[in-house]
Structure 1
Amino acid sequence: MDSDTEESPRKRQRKNPFSGDSSSRKNLMQDEDIRLETTRARFSNVLKRHGELTERLSRDSDKMIFERLQKEFEAARASQTEEICLKGEEWNDGLLATIRERVHMEADRKAMPGDINMVPGPHFQEKITYKVGSKVICCLEGARIGIQYETSFADEPCELYHCVLESKSFLEKMTVLEHTIPFFLPIREAENDLLSSNAMKFIDYVGELLQAYVDRREQVRLIKELYGNQIRELYHSLPYHMVEFVLDDSDCKVTVSLRYADLVSVLPTRIRVLAWPSKKSSIDAMTMNRKENGVLGSHQIPVRLSYAEDAVRKMSLPEAFAEIVLNLPQALQQMSQQTSK
């Protein structure tokens, strides 16, 4: 019986490691904070190195293909007899079929014996390039159709991308022969889903995919350029369809988490913006104390910033960022007044 009486407090102490003095609890919490910050720093460094390596590998592997295709497209446009700008319904399946027929007839003509002595008729002398919005469609050598995609941001030109399609005959389905599209965009999935059934839709979808990627990427680049001194811990996926960053304010920390419905979306669909009060914040009323296992603990409760989420949902990221920063003091003051009632 005596031994049970002696062991009982010890068991209780083991079950509740925070039952010691306040200094021990404080030291333990500080050690935990240090470990979390160390882990965060290491993870951030790994992500940074991964992004740099991925970008370098992608750039180096595509560089030679890009230069070769770019020269071929430039030569095709330089030798063109006409460039036709298509609008609306002028770009359709019938026209694409005509382009396919043209490249195969030209390839068959060149493969015929005595081709050198044969004088081509006016139909074969025509070298037409088609421009559909930001796409340029060329007839390339070897029964290939080339599509050059022009991307832009804020009316300023960005990168060019290429996609070359081929088929063994006019009646067989086309396939993607080569391209300079970033490897993390699902061009092979689009080829399997669309190209065999609707080549025109495939060509248009790839253009939307590229432009949306460039748009998301440039929005993130611009907020880093304009507000880099206020942003830390910025993370994003390779296609920029997941973006997270932290905004440092004197009174609080604001975390922004963005998710896009798909890879052709320019504005996010799942948004979460939280304000975390700092220890020296004027909104200490948002800090809740609770008693757990006989210990009084302090827990910071974040508050969702609905005005900020609405801004990100409707505006481009740089515009929304400016809106968040401009209205943050007023939003924090209102929350402080509400929680103090």
Structure 2
Amino acid sequence: MGEMSFMHEEDTRLETTRGRFENVLKRHAELAERLSRDSDKMIFERLQKEFEAARASQTQEVTLDGEQWNDGLLATIRERVHIEADRKAMSGNINNFPESHVEERITYRVGNKVICCLEGPRIGIQYETSFAGEPCELYHCVLESKSFLEKMTVLEHTIPFFLPIRAAENDLLSSNAMRFIDYVGELLQAYVDRREQVRLIKELYGNQIGELYHSLPYHMVEFVVDDSDCKLIVTLRYGDLVSVLPTRVRVLVWSMHQSKKNMSPTILSRKENGSRGSQPNPTRLSYAENALKTLSLPEAYAEIVLNLPQTLQQMYQLRGNS
């Protein structure tokens, strides 16, 4: 009775989760429509052109490794943009100054980030995301400060609205600007990794996967695998938005053949007519949960499917012996 009560609670939680996912999907559709407006596309296109112009006018590009990217360098970049902005404001045209007085235009590359000086007292960061070695989207973040001594703020950006850039700005930018820049890069890359993993299993195994739900930042994912042998429900939860592997995983399996074998004709008829009350109790697949915690989603899915027939056979034998 205790086990049946536990399973009932599990089913109730699954239904609650599914309802939440359905609301998320509805909200996603509404927000995706809003974000597809011309004004949002224009912001990206304008910033992209400005970054391209800044890189085209650079005198050199410096690649930084390890400790070369530090608070001192960021302070130097900030000082440079303010000096150039002040000179241009005083002269009306920076080209009036002799070339020797014009600061070098240096672009810095740090991992997946390109940092450059934009017109005015602004620092631009372009984030280059990738998946499996292939480039994905570009994102931009423009930082501004009224003076060298004042804290920087996020002037504008093209980062997805559902990633907490404003919270990161409040928590990090005033106290540790370098950490803020790095953290936003981690947020974006982890989001793209999670999203592309889901996209890939849909592309590779879409004929096996039935329902699939996910939150906007892909930090909650649930999908169903339903075939003639069994039914699996996979639920993934990521500890935070910079995680690429889930921290909480649950895989439940219903072995359909064994349940049909043990059912009376009346109960079997009810099950085939879709009655939830006739569903057999599920079993948690520990090997599947371990795979999902240690491998990428497509790799874990392939391992789960590969070992599933043997696992189901062992389940049949155990139930038969009991």
> Normalised by the shorter chain, which TM-score bucket?
0.7 to 0.9
157-166 or 308-317, which moves further after superposition? 308-317
1:234 aligned to 212, 234, 240, which one? 212
- How far apart are 1:46 and its partner, in Å? 6.4
Match of 1:59 in 2: 36
Match of 1:201 in 2: 179
2:86 aligned to 94, 108, 116, which one? 108
Contact 1:277–1:286 under 8 Å retained in 2? no
- The normalised TM-score by structure 1 is 0.80
Deviations 1:168-195 (Å, cap 9, x if unpaired)? 0000000000000000000000000000
Match of 1:317 in 2: 297
Match of 2:309 in 1: 329
Contact 1:275–1:302 under 8 Å retained in 2? yes
Q: Matches of 1:87 and 1:268 in 2, distance apart?
A: 29
Structure-to-structure mapping, 1:76-91, within 5 angstroms: 76-91=54-69
Between the two structures, name the one with larger relative contact order (CA 8 Å, sep ≥ 6): 2
Letter of the structure 2 residue corresponding to residue 186 of structure 1: P
Match of 2:13 in 1: none
Match of 1:143 in 2: 121
Contact 1:287–1:301 under 8 Å retained in 2? no
Contact 2:87–2:94 under 8 Å retained in 1? no
1:246 aligned to 207, 210, 224, which one? 224
Does residue 1:282 correspond to 2:253, yes or no?
no
- How far apart are 1:149 and its partner, in Å? 0.1
Deviations 1:95-147 (Å, cap 9, x if unpaired)? 00000000000000011146568424425241110111110001000110000
**For structure 1, which runs of at least 5 residues remain unmatched after alignment?**
1-39, 289-296
- The normalised TM-score by structure 2 is 0.85
Letter of the structure 1 residue corresponding to residue 294 of structure 2: K
Q: Matches of 1:238 and 1:164 in 2, distance apart?
A: 24
Structure-to-structure mapping, 1:204-215, within 5 angstroms: 204-215=182-193
2:196 aligned to 218, 230, 250, which one? 218
* Identical columns (%): 74
Match of 1:307 in 2: 287
Q: Matches of 1:150 and 1:327 in 2, distance apart?
A: 37
Q: Matches of 2:98 and 2:45 in 1, distance apart?
A: 31
- How far apart are 1:227 and its partner, in Å? 0.5
Q: Matches of 2:153 and 2:18 in 1, distance apart?
A: 45
Match of 1:16 in 2: none
- How far apart are 1:266 and its partner, in Å? 0.1
Aligned length: 292
**For structure 2, which runs of at least 5 residues remain unmatched after alignment?**
1-16, 265-276
**RMSD of aligned C-alpha atoms?**
2.4
Match of 2:14 in 1: none
Q: Matches of 1:263 and 1:65 in 2, distance apart?
A: 25
Q: Matches of 2:147 and 2:226 in 1, distance apart?
A: 60
Q: Matches of 1:286 and 1:302 in 2, distance apart?
A: 15
Deviations 1:259-302 (Å, cap 9, x if unpaired)? 00000000000000000233xx13558889xxxxxxxx855110
Letter of the structure 2 residue corresponding to residue 331 of structure 1: T
Structure having the higher Rg: 1
